Every structure is written in structure tokens, then in C-alpha cells.
Amino acid sequence: MTHSGSVRDVQATGPDVAADTTRDRSRPRFAELCALPLAVYGSVFAVLVVVSWQVISRYTETPEGVPPLSFRGEWFWDGWVRYDAGWYSMIADQGYSYTPGAQSPVAFFPGYPLLVRAVGGIMDNPQLGGIAITVVCGAAALVAFHVWCRDRLDPPAATTAVLCLALYPYAYYLYGVMYGDALFLLCVLLAFLAFERDHMVLAGLAGAAATATRLVGMAVVVALVVGVLERRRVVTWGPDSRPHLHLGRLHPGDAGVLLSVSGLAAWSLYLWSRFGDPLLFSTVQESWGQQSGLTTWIKRDFFATLYHRPEQFYSQGLAIQALFGLAVVATIPAVVRRFGWRYGAYVGVLVLVPAVGSQDFQGLGRYLLGAFPAFAVAGALLAERPGVRRWVLPLSALVLVIYTGMFANGRYLS
């Protein structure tokens, strides 16, 4: 069976396999690569901004669980500043602190809130600064994703893949919500784009920004290391079906990808030096009811919530996020066939970290925004099936609009 949406099935066949994916086609101009994703982003952004504004204009009650924040421009932008945005605002304004046994800002990685402090300081408005960062990073991430797709997919499949990501039901986190997901996705894509162009140090630095923003950034570290081994053919299989290592094939510059772990390392060193616990970001999760242990791993609370359904909307939301996670996991074999083992490893770790660490899959729908190779596979498959694409993309867009309005009104969706 041939895949019309894929230029080739990328296999670990030689040291230049990744670079070759960009050499066998004439590269479009950068302006052409930017035009489509920016047009898509701008169109979706305009719709979602209006939806959010209308919701906060018509529903004046304070949503339950949303920290009260007052800032210049809240009359229009307040729908984007919900839940964790209060923590990011606190970190940007006051820095980090820790109270044993209580929810504390050390649970949040520093990449995004420190950027909010810098941009918000310039704008004299941390909330608008956080929104601006999300918008810029979200648009840039869509451009970077389009560039990555055009290196590997035919134009129709690349276009469809961009639409799949832009219209994903939880993609409102890329369009203004004061969260770090857009920044994380951009850093991840820049890391892989640099790696595929053999810029190992740049890949490592972009990966470091990812690991300083999200714990799931460790997926980038794993993927870059696997990518080096894959590209240099360090592991081969002999006639005896046993693996053979060829460490001499590694290049000195390949060590640059190891810089990617430095974001997490620096954060852990800071927590250790100031609070005496290098893993405090994990320890404090107990205050959110996310204890590490067997009950979390087997998802006891998740199944109990589905069975008892204390709040039907909440339990349905958990089930939807779990199903999205399963769908992404199901794409891993296709990701490996089309793009290589490094991307399969990346998607696997990206899903595994939040799935194992969460008691009920809450937040997984948002974390899956980082699973860009899965969106690329979805785009390639839908491009081959225009009849299915005609109803999948509009349905996804409709759910995105609904979710945006619900988030603005204080519903905790992911």
C-alpha cells in the first residue's frame, strides 16, 4: 500500500537519512511556508478571541476555581486568564516559594513564567505579556510545524496536518491562554528542525528550553539521543539476530544534543540549592492529590470517577482525554514507519510521562499538543481520504470553539 501523503517512509538506513529528507525536493520559499500556517492561525485566532470575549461579556459570575485576577485589558482578555494563569502571574510577580504540605508555585517549571516576567515587565502587564507570548509562540509553532511537514509530506498532506493541529479541540492553549504549552511546542519543533539540519548544539539548546518549560520535555532528550544513534547507525543487527554497537561512528559534535537535559538540570539544581529537594516539583504534586504510587499508576481514581460519576461533565472530559491519548499511542507504529524511531520514541515518552504521573488523565488532552508527529500522520491519512476529512476537520473546529467558550466561562477542561 502506498501513502500518497508521505514523500517516503523514513528508515534508519544511513547517517544522512534525516538530511536527505530535505534534499530531494526543491525547497519552497520561506514566505510560502509561512503564508498558510499564519493564515490558518490568524483565522482561528480571530474566531476564538470573539468567542472568548462574548462569553465573558455575557456571563459575569466569577467561575468556580478561577483565581481572581485584575489587570488592564481584562474586559476583553479575561477569558484567556484562567486556573494556572494565576500561578504564572504569581511567579512572574513574586518569584518562587514553597510551603510544605500546601500547593506552591514550585510545581511550575520556570521557562514560561520567567518569560512572562520579562515580557510582562516591558508591557507593565504580566497577564497581557503572557497572552502575547502564547500568541507569538503559537503562531510560530504552526509555522515550524508546517516547515517540518513540508520536509516529509506532500503539500496536501502537510496542509491537512497543519489544520489537524490548528483545529485540535484543545488547541485553544495555542491561541492566547496564559499557559506554557505554545512555548513548549515551539521549542520542541525548533529542536527537531535543528537536529534534522545537523545543528546538534542548536538542537540541544532548543531542547533545553523545552525541558525548562515542561517535565515532558524529557521526551525531547530521549528522542534526540535516539536520533543520533539512528542517524549514525550505532546499533546494527548481525546474522545472529543480536545487536552490535559501533560507538566509533559517533561524531564529537553529536554530544551537543545532550545540552537538552540542561533545562531540567538547572531547575533541579535551583530547587536543591534553595529548598533542599532537587525533585520538589514532583514532591509538591501531592498537594494537588497526585501522589506517586500504585493507585496513581493503575488509575484507581479515574475508574472510580467513571463508575460513580459524581459530576458527569468532568468524568466525560476525563474519558475524552484518555481516548485521545490512546489514539495518539495508536499512531506510534505509523510515526516510526514514516518518520523514524526518534519520533516514535518522542511520542511514546510524551504520552507516558503525564499518563503515568496523573491519577485520572486530567491535562492529557493539553499535553498531547506536543505530539506533532501524530498530527502529521493524521494529516497524511486524512489527505488520502477527502470524504472523511470533510467532516472530521469541521467537527474538530466546532468542538474547539465550544471548548474555548467553556474555558473562558471557567470550565476546567484539561
pLDDT in tens, the chain (414 residues): 334 444 434 334 444 444 444 444 455 677 778 999 999 999 999 999 999 999 998 875 555 555 567 889 999 999 999 989 999 999 999 999 999 988 899 999 999 999 999 999 999 999 999 999 999 999 999 999 999 999 999 999 999 999 999 999 999 999 999 999 999 999 999 999 999 999 999 999 999 999 999 999 999 999 999 999 998 877 777 777 677 677 777 788 899 999 999 999 999 999 999 999 999 998 888 777 666 666 666 666 666 666 666 666 677 888 888 899 999 999 999 999 999 999 999 999 999 988 887 777 778 899 999 999 999 999 999 999 999 999 999 999 999 999 999 999 888 887
pLDDT the model gives residue 312: 66
Give the pLDDT score at 4: 40
Q: What is the pLDDT of residue 10?
A: 38
Instruction: Say if CB 168 and CB 369 are below 8 A apart.
Output: yes
Point out which residues pair with 6 in neighbouring strands: 153
> What's residue 64's pLDDT?
55
The three cell numbers locating residue 159: 496542509
How long a stretch of residues is the chain? 414
Record the cell numbers describing residue 213, joined without a space: 518549560
C-alpha–C-alpha distance, residues 127 and 133, integer Å: 10
Cross-strand bridge partners of residue 245 = 235
Cα 239 to Cα 99, 244, 249, 349: the distances in Å are 59, 10, 20, 31
Domain boundaries, the chain: 17-279+291-408
* CA atoms of 353 and 282, how far apart (whole Å): 12
Q: Please, which residues bridge with residue 237 across strands?
A: 243
Structure confidence at residue 302 (pLDDT): 65
Alpha helices in 60-153 (DSSP H): 74-77, 84-94, 111-123, 126-152
* AA identity, residue 336: V
Grid coordinates representing 292 are 506517586
pLDDT value at residue 289: 67
pTM of the model: 0.88
pLDDT tens-digit readout, 285-333: 877 766 666 666 666 666 666 666 666 667 788 888 889 999 999 999 9
**SS3 of the chain: helix, strand, coil, percent, to 5:** 70, 0, 30
Burial of 26 (0-12, 13-18, 19+ CB in 10 A): exposed
Give the Cα separation of 19 and 110 in Å (integer): 33
Task: Using the CB atoms, write b or e for 338-365: b if 16+ within 10 Å.
Answer: bbbbbbbbbbbbbbebbbebbbbbbbbb
C-alpha span between 279 and 59 (Å, rounded): 41
Which residues lie below 8 Å from residue 94, measured CB to CB, with a gap of 6+? none
